[in-house]
Amino acid sequence: MKFGFSDDQQQFRDIVARFCRDKSPTTQVRELMANDTGYDPKIWQQLCQELGLCGIHINEEFGGGGFGPVELCIVMEEFGRSLMCAPYFASAVLACTTVATIAHEEQRELLLPGLIDGTQIGTVAIAEADGKFDGKRMKTVATASNNQFNLSGLKRYVVDGHQADVLIVAANYQDQTAFFIVEPNAHGLTRTLVQSMDPTRKLADLTFDNTPARLLGTATPQQLTHLYDTAIVALANEMVGGAQALLDSAVQYTKLRVQFGRTVGSFQAIKHRLADLLLEVELAKSAAYQAAYALAEQSNASETASLAKAAASEAYLDTAIACIQLHGGIGFTWENDTHLWFKRAKSSEVFFDPPASHRERMLQYMLQNTPQQAHQGAST
């Protein structure tokens, strides 16, 4: 499968990158990660309304940009590079995709415009106590009485769940995975902001105690797989953006740091380390780009998505560790910015399942596809 960005996509990337440089310097990141909201409402409105990024992958009939996963992942990569502090992953990637995939047309017309223009922030609550984003083992249950649904259970690691206006909650309903809309001030709902390793991505616990909800729709296994693939492909592209930022930082510092009368970047051991990192980051980029393209074409999407998540997770964390080491003593200090990306790298490694789980998932899809491909080859 061959893939390359078009000229229009490259220009689009340049626009997003310029916006990130202007609006998300590390001074801004440090300021925003210290408060509970974690984002600047003015920048969020510019991002959504002036650039139209929140609905980039949603059909134009619902107010979106009418593009697809590739453009969405370009945005995520640039946001990862700059550590953009905004509820973009929760609202654009998770909530908008879920509504567009699960809801019927009337609900789409009701929910998507507010999510796309940024006047409402959405999120999706799937993971529970074990942290797995798996609909098969869901303990949160929905009951129905007189056409009224009620939810009971616990959701964990909900991105921006403490402040979202549109709460989309996955629950078990009649042995099916269904998605429900819960009002932020609903009876029996408790939202708790949790302290996580990465303060630039806010996570919350949601507790439901016979909480009123309205049905968004039941999901087929294929729809659940599509939602999961979209999330991990977007996350993989965010991670390769962060990995590239760290690699650039390491290269720049080793060109400036002088030791024994020479820049440390001129030492052969440092050159070899940077070359290894470059190779790892470029391979992860290729996997992430291929996954975005496969998702757009719906061709081996799950297989390539899990490959991208595993490769990006390891490349990001390896680059973060090496960047701290290559910065020497200053790399361990709070004043140095490296730890900001390191924390995002470590938290993203296990977010939406760790690399080992994704390699197993990738192999399962490869085994499923191999007999069919072999059969097709024999028939030709």
For 7-120, the fitting CATH number among 3.90.1150.10, 1.10.540.10, 1.10.10.10, 1.10.530.10 is: 1.10.540.10
pLDDT digits (tens, 9 = 90+) for 332-344: 898 999 999 999 9
Q: What is the pLDDT of residue 306?
A: 96
Helix, strand or coil, per DSSP, at residue 83: coil
pLDDT averaged over every residue in the chain = 92
Q: What is the pLDDT of residue 298?
A: 87
Q: What is the pLDDT of residue 146?
A: 82
pLDDT digits (tens, 9 = 90+) for 81-132: 999 999 999 999 999 999 999 999 899 999 999 999 999 999 999 999 888 7
Rounded distance between C-alpha atoms, residue 242 and residue 317, angstroms: 10
Higher pLDDT, 373 or 45: 45
Rounded distance between C-alpha atoms, residue 167 and residue 180, angstroms: 8
Rounded distance between C-alpha atoms, residue 244 and residue 7, angstroms: 21
- The pTM of this model reads 0.93
CATH of domain 222-372: 1.20.140.10
Q: What is the pLDDT of residue 261?
A: 83
Q: What is the pLDDT of residue 141?
A: 94
Q: Give 311: exposed, middle or buried? Use CB within 10 Å, 0-12, 13-18, 19+.
A: buried
Rounded distance between C-alpha atoms, residue 306 and residue 13, angstroms: 24
Rounded distance between C-alpha atoms, residue 355 and residue 312, angstroms: 9
pLDDT digits (tens, 9 = 90+) for 52-68: 999 999 988 888 899 99
Asked if pLDDT for residue 20 goes beyond 60, the answer is: yes
Q: What is the pLDDT of residue 15?
A: 96
- Backbone φ, ψ for residue 196 (5° rounding): -120, 170
Residue 168, beta-bridge partner list? 124, 181
Tokens of 146: 């007189």
Q: What is the pLDDT of residue 339?
A: 94
Rounded distance between C-alpha atoms, residue 186 and residue 105, angstroms: 25
Alpha-helix runs per DSSP H in 122-263: 221-256
Query: Residue 99: which region, alpha, beta or left (left: phi > 0; alpha: psi -120 to 50)?
Result: alpha
Asked if pLDDT for residue 136 goes beyond 90, the answer is: no
Per-residue confidence band for 2, with pLDDT thresholds at 50, 70 and 90: low
Q: What is the pLDDT of residue 135?
A: 67
Q: Give 113: exposed, middle or buried? Use CB within 10 Å, 0-12, 13-18, 19+.
A: middle
Q: What is the pLDDT of residue 370?
A: 75
Rounded distance between C-alpha atoms, residue 8 and residue 74, angstroms: 12
Handedness of CA 242, 248, 251, 252 (dihedral sign): negative
Q: Give 299: exposed, middle or buried? Use CB within 10 Å, 0-12, 13-18, 19+.
A: exposed
Domain boundaries, the chain: 7-120, 123-219, 222-372
Rounded distance between C-alpha atoms, residue 328 and residue 254, angstroms: 10
Average pLDDT over every residue of 145-149:
86
Own/partner pairs, 335-343, CB within 8 angstroms, 24+ separation: 337/26, 337/249, 338/246, 338/249, 340/26, 340/29, 340/30, 340/33, 340/83, 340/200, 341/83, 341/242, 341/245, 341/246, 343/197, 343/198, 343/199, 343/200
Asked if pLDDT for residue 6 goes beyond 60, the answer is: yes
CATH of domain 123-219: 2.40.110.10
Alpha-helix runs per DSSP H in the chain: 7-23, 26-33, 41-45, 69-82, 88, 97-102, 105-116, 221-256, 268-297, 301-326, 338-350, 355-379
Asked if pLDDT for residue 34 goes beyond 90, the answer is: yes
Contact 241/286 with Cβ under 8 angstroms? Answer: no
Q: Give 222: exposed, middle or buried? Use CB within 10 Å, 0-12, 13-18, 19+.
A: exposed
Whole-number percent of the chain with pLDDT over 90: 81
